[in-house]
Amino acid sequence: MPRWGMVIDLDRCTGCQACSIACRTENNVPACGDRNAWKGRAIFWNKVVAVRMDGHGETAHGPHGAAAAHSRPRFRFLPMPCMHCERPPCTMVCPVRATTKNVEGIVMQVPSRCIGCRLCQAACPYSRRYFNWQEVSFPGDLGQALNPDVALRTLGVIEKCTFCIHRFQKVREQARAEDREIREGEYVTACVQACPARARTFGDLDNPSHAVAKLAQSPRAFRLLHELGTGPQVVYLHEGSWQDDSGLPVRDLLSKEKEDHG
Amino acid sequence: MADRDAFTYFRPLIHTSWGSLALLALSAAGAAWYFFGAFYLQFFHGHQLTGQGTHGAMWGSMVANIVQLIGVSHVGIAISATVRILKLRRYQQLARVAELVTLVSLTAAVCNIAGDVGRPDRFLTNVIKNGNYTGPFVWSASVITNYLVGSCVYLYLAMRRDIYLCSCVLPRRRWLYRILSLGYTDTPEERENHERTVWWCAVIILPIMVSVHSVYGWVFGLNSGRPGWFNPFQAPYFVLGAIVTGFSGVIVITALVRRVYKWEEFFPNRMFKGLGIFLGFVTLLYLYFLFSEVLTGVYTAPEAERGVLHDLLFGRFATIAWAATVGGMVVPFFILFVQGANPRICSMRVVVAAALPIFIAMWCWRYLITVPSFFHSHVPYRLAEYAPTLFDWSLVVATYSFGVFFYLSLVKLLPVLEIPEKFKPACPARPPRITLGERRRWGALKRVSIGATLATGAGLIAAGIASRHRVEIPAPAIWISGIVCLWTIPLQACLLPGFPSAGRVRAHMARMEPGLLRAPRPAATAVGLTECAASPATIEYWIDEQFGASRGIRRRPEIRGIG
């Protein structure tokens, strides 16, 4: 059985957010409006976090504001899909089995079963789960461009990245019909497909012939917050193990940055 | 006069002042707003009405309120059970007041949970049907059901005699109390049986009570990804917090009940002094726990953990934290210490003046446990500030309004004080005519029934636990049914006629005690209580003396002409 995973090369990422847009379009992620966005209610199954590495404040929205304030800002972009952890805390705490880890290693969400208690949100150390705080809306022409393969979620439930499971289902049926294994590159997520810098690679982490399995063994590879023991199936690549000139590991940098921002 | 003494116990059931009616109407309006806001508005317009957000505080004031109410519910039954087990006569009348507090606050907490989840329409059905045994929420549903059902059974059995006595003194509502008392006839055997059963219920309920709040500690404490929450200390910390919250809440409510119904003789200042001493002790213990947590958090803790504590002590939450700790714990502790140490101070007001700020401070600390962690996420998102909106605050106030409405309704419906055994009905209800042979058959049936219930309940719990991994089986529904099934055992023990032991039969026959073998008196039609079967005084006289028409108190029609 494959164990789907992703490798994201941070040295290649330009922070263009094409992955975020592709994800929103592919998965019918609703808009929330300005007011709700300021309240932290915007939904991004795939979010590109801009991390300022010189310890002078944060710009999760992008570097422009802080760049004006500081002369030589240094940013790194951290694209964040769901980590599809090997030992996901969210599935442990979900009281209604609305989120489960399937046999292919994908952490699934069943919105029609979710009661909206937000325990999974609280349990996820990566904050990769989103609650529908407001009615689902697709302003303008967005409503005309919905993906028929993905069901809309209702008010009051949690939603999250599913590694574009609907694509996997199509590919799996095709492979079954032709009585063969799923080939490498046949099933890829929308964010992988859209990345212009080819920073993302997707495939079976257990299949040594897949590029993703080789990259995950790279000396440049690291897993975010691996010390928590969740075992993320999204692996990041970065030269020097994501260390700044200060020599601090990423988590300390992130904390320091967050604290400065206040 | 005997009846005058006796009717003091039923005062809220006999009189309803205009002030009470106004308070009932006001609190009913508040309760209606709660259900409209929490269930209608949030269901159709979403939780965007609150101040919460995904990248911000995803839990807020409502969760703080839930933890607070669960804490209050803790202590009601705890006080009652402790009073019963340790036979603390001075606090005997406090037990019922506290039990009703448990019932009300637990119901309000469950309403808050249902209102806080995004889909209340699926809340109960999905948790029971699709429950995931590893989820603390399912543990919570199990222990809360256990506690709620257990509390109701305990409350009912402890109150059954008083309900029966109500049927003797309140003819208008006699039908209701007759139904509620379920055939109770106040024979010595029944009394003894109830006392024994209720004692065992008290013994069983105490550990259950600890489990309820421990589970709430684990809801927070098991999340390794949340700095400030992930802590093995959370469960005992929450249990202690619940004791502090609950005691302060019960003190305030008892003071209000005493003031409104003029029950100084049942809730004397000495009782409040004792409660104050205990509250002071647990408050000091809570401060010690708090200090221990803060020291661990600031000493060599990981960065994120230190961030939360820094935020609490010197950052954006410092004002609330210091105000709650100093104004709501340290100062009240000294007040309670002085009133406890100084034998000349024996005042309810002093204790209430300390308990009220402690109650508010505990709410603040619930808030401070819940919210700050969200601002110290491991990943540096841009986080939205959180402040409860007007809607949030209105729901918090409306919850307490619902509590007042529910409590007042219970006080107007059920006897709040335990009627001492010296009071007996002037014309008691006739016990059912059962021969000794029939009684033996009933006794055998009772034993079989209790045994079968025990086996069924235990079997259901075991079956539920065994099938916890199977998605197609509603395991929580099975084990919760088992728990409810087990709680019918005390009811059966008291409601079904027992199998008298040979010694008891001999003793009863020797004393020719009525009630065991034959009916002693004709069917009861009269009302009124009497002390040791003395002749009853006229109640009308007593009513006029106690509550004159000049004070604007309505007299219920049913008590006219009784004497």
Contact B381 A127 (CB under 8 A): yes
| Token pair in block for residue A130 | 């989103």
Burial, B208: exposed, middle or buried (Cβ in 10 Å; 0-12, 13-18, 19+)?
A: middle
Report yes or no: A229 at the B interface, CB cutoff 8 Å: yes
Q: What is the pLDDT of residue B241?
A: 92
Query: pLDDT-derived band of residue B480, with 50, 70 and 90 as boundaries?
Result: very high
The residues near B27 (Cβ < 8 Å, ≥ 6 apart) are B401, B402, B404, B405, B408
On the question of pLDDT at B199 being above 50, the answer is: yes
Beta A221-222 vs B553-555: how paired, if at all? unpaired
Q: In angstroms, what separates the C-alpha of B304 from chain A's closest C-alpha?
A: 7
ipTM for this prediction: 0.84
Rounded to the nearest 10 degrees, the angle between the axes of helix B269-298 and helix B234-261 is 150
Contact A254 B307 (CB under 8 A): no
On the question of pLDDT at B553 being above 90, the answer is: no
* Pairwise CA distance, residues B473 & A3, whole Å: 28
Q: What is the pLDDT of residue B432?
A: 67
Contact B118 A49 (CB under 8 A): no
Identify from A45, A255, A260 which residue to disrupt to test chain B contact, counting B C-beta atoms within 10 A and taking the largest count.
Answer: A255
Query: pLDDT-derived band of residue B505, with 50, 70 and 90 as boundaries?
Result: low
Which residue among B51, B223, B384 sits closest to A89, beta carbon to beta carbon? B223
Contact B379 A224 (CB under 8 A): yes
Q: In angstroms, what separates the C-alpha of A44 from chain B's closest C-alpha?
A: 11
Contact yes or no for A211/A39 (Cβ under 8 A): no
Cα-to-chain-centroid distance, residue B33: 23
On the question of pLDDT at B132 being above 80, the answer is: yes
The answer to whether the pTM exceeds 0.95 is no
On the question of pLDDT at B499 being above 80, the answer is: no
Query: pLDDT-derived band of residue B177, with 50, 70 and 90 as boundaries?
Result: confident
Helix, strand, coil share (%) of chain B residues, nearest 5:
70, 0, 25
Q: What is the pLDDT of residue B548?
A: 47
SS3 assignment, position A114: coil
Q: In angstroms, what separates the C-alpha of B16 from chain A's closest C-alpha?
A: 41
What does B472-502 look like in DSSP terms, one character per residue?
TS-HHHHHHHHHHHHTHHHHHHHHSPP---H
On the question of pLDDT at B518 being above 80, the answer is: no
SS3 assignment, position A233: coil
- For residue B421, what is the DSSP state? T
Q: What is the pLDDT of residue B560?
A: 41
Report yes or no: B382 at the A interface, CB cutoff 8 Å: yes
Query: pLDDT-derived band of residue B519, with 50, 70 and 90 as boundaries?
Result: very low
Angle, CA of B439, B149 and B126, to the nearest 5°: 130
SS3 assignment, position A100: strand
On the question of pLDDT at A249 being above 70, the answer is: no
Report yes or no: B126 at the A interface, CB cutoff 8 Å: yes
* Pairwise CA distance, residues B283 & B241, whole Å: 9
Query: pLDDT-derived band of residue A65, with 50, 70 and 90 as boundaries?
Result: very low
* Pairwise CA distance, residues A166 & A253, whole Å: 37
* B138-157 residue pLDDT tens: 998 899 899 889 989 999 99
Contact B222 A93 (CB under 8 A): yes
Amino acid symbol at A198: R
